[in-house]
Amino acid sequence: MTRIFLLNPPALELTGLFRPVRQIMNALPSLGICSLGACLRQAGFEVILLDAAALGDSEEECLAKLQGAQPDIVGMTTYSVAMARVYRLAARITKRHRESTIIVGGPHVSAIGTGLDNPGDLFDFVVRGEGELTLTELVQALVDGSDYRNVPGILFRSGSNWIETGPRKQIEDLDALPLPAWDLLPDFPDRYRPPVFSYPRGPSAPLITSRGCPFQCGFCDHSVFGYRYRSHSVDRIMDMICHLRQHFGVNHILFVDDHLSVQRSRLHELCRQLIERDLGISWTADVRADSLTVDDLQLMKRAGCVRLNCGLETGSLELLGAMHKKLDLEQARQTLAQARILGIQTKGLFLLGYPGENEQTVRETIQFIGSTDLTEINLSRFAPYPGTSFYETFRADQAEIQFWEKLDGLHFCDANPQRVAWLEQAYRRILHAFYHRPIIINSYLRLLIRMPESRARLLRFLRDSLLELLKKGWVSLRGRTRPAT
């Protein structure tokens, strides 16, 4: 039987003093490889899943697990922030497993298409867009020895060039897909956790109930799911929730749709079914903060909603316009206030460094954050990812290796070093302005009391950080006191 190893490659490796951060950070599994694995298994193939990013595995650990599995085909997910590591890992896989076919898919290669660099012919095939049907058909063609050029949605090598077979139609009936293969994830669900203080009680699991985002924000790429909104039926969503509850004991669901609130009628029906079935499930969702009414929030609260993540981006109306982000900031402010009254946590997602960012827009963002009832904020650095209008301009002036190292989500990508320094200073100012307020400090103290699981994770983080500091101090001390030879 053909053996397929699906890998979500390692994220940024945390070592030394940063290693303990894994105790408190987000470590949820990739639903992409779970859905791909389910379709391949349904087609009769042997499938092994490894989400190295969620588990914190290093490149060496990935290679050891690949060596033990001896797969015929290796499938790798690609994100632009991790492409430097993808190239390194693919080179090492190719060297050790020369007979294995390497297929890449995911957001990065879907956006890049035939422009994908392939040094040393590391990749054999590319799957673009939604991968469930495409990957299954491609693998079947490889196993049967039939002509893979008849499979829509792939790129294949022809000398030093990529040849595209043509686009594949989007999947219309999402309910026809098998349940994600959560059972193939090693140690699921115990080793896969959201960030601390973002959930009341685990185990937790992510769930996506729709695909496609109808909005056209300038910083987003739509290469995989497109703009057209498609969704699972509420009955199918409940099947997935019940499966997670009954088979894995999951207590908390994270709806990772771009916007769970796009179809309010579907959201209402989902809430009603959650209330009627009384599964004891709490949940978190990403929503547009200006799309919900007080009645919506009250229904969501009754259905188990404990937290809403809201893409707010900036407090500047001018910058929102430049982003093509049609967000009503005043309505968003009211929604956040009502959510807080109902006891629903709110997390604001902000973006710093978008073209046009200046001292005035930073001040407006700080003022807006201070005027809202947010529990937490996440501040991202703008990056010109493939699939956005800014990518080609940024790409043109970059050396190959430096390019992917810079586009890791941890650096501002502006070519002007003075502007980068100013943006880094503004980044610290915004975080300080939010988290150093007494109301936020008191809020986290209350969460420490109310969330014992998060409290335990935080204590382990502090313990391990202290041990790392002591270890570093001991090594430094030994280095200073070693006698000269």
Per domain, the residue ranges of the chain are 3-164, 203-382+416-446
Number of other CB atoms surrounding residue 79 within 10 Å? 20
392 Cβ neighbours under 8 A, 6+ residues apart: none
Backbone torsions φ then ψ of 3, nearest 5 degrees: -105, 125
Neighbour count for residue 224 (Cβ, 10 Å): 21
CA 468 to chain centre: 28
pLDDT in tens, the chain (485 residues): 899 999 999 987 777 777 888 888 989 999 999 999 999 999 999 999 999 999 999 999 999 999 999 999 999 999 988 888 899 999 999 988 888 999 999 999 999 999 998 988 999 999 999 999 999 999 999 999 999 999 999 999 988 899 999 999 999 999 999 999 999 999 999 999 999 999 999 999 999 999 999 888 888 888 899 889 999 999 999 999 999 999 999 999 999 999 999 999 999 999 999 999 999 999 999 999 999 999 999 999 999 999 999 999 999 999 999 999 989 999 999 999 999 999 999 999 999 999 999 999 999 999 999 999 899 999 999 988 888 888 877 776 665 545 667 777 788 988 788 999 999 999 999 999 999 999 999 999 999 999 999 999 999 999 989 998 888 775 555 555 555 54
Residue 186 burial (CB count, 10 A) = 15
Position 482 scores a pLDDT of 58
What's residue 403's pLDDT? 65
Q: Which pLDDT score is estimated for 98?
A: 81
Q: What would the two tokens of residue 270 be?
A: 């989902």
CATH level 3 topology of 203-382+416-446: pyruvate-formate lyase- activating enzyme (3.80.30)
Cα–Cα distance measured from residue 283 to residue 443, given in angstroms and rounded to the nearest whole number: 20
Write down the pTM of the prediction: 0.92
Give the type of residue at 106. G
Cα atoms found within 13 Å of the Cα of residue 167, Cβ hemisphere only: 10
* pLDDT value of position 479: 59
Instruction: Write phi, then psi, for 268 (nearest 5 degrees).
Output: -65, -45
Q: Which pLDDT value is given to residue 398? A: 60
Dist. CA 111–CA 127, nearest whole Å: 11
Hey, what amino acid is at 445?
L
Which two structure tokens, joined as six digits, stand for 145? 């020895």
pLDDT of 387: 85
- Which pLDDT score is estimated for 388? 85
**Into which CATH architecture does domain 3-164 fall?**
3-Layer(aba) Sandwich (3.40)
Give helix 294-302 / helix 264-277 axis angle, nearest 10°: 30
The residue count for the chain:
485
Q: Is there a contact between 272 and 312 (Cβ–Cβ < 8 Å)?
A: no
Cα–Cα distance measured from residue 280 to residue 274, given in angstroms and rounded to the nearest whole number: 9
What is d(CA 269, CA 298) in angstroms, rounded to the nearest whole number?
Answer: 14
Q: d(Cα 406, Cα 81) in Å, to the nearest integer?
A: 9
Per-residue confidence (pLDDT) for residue 399, from 0 to 100: 53
Token pair, residue 281, equals 């499930």
Structure tokens at 210: 């729709």
Q: Are 336 and 346 in contact (CB under 8 A)?
A: yes
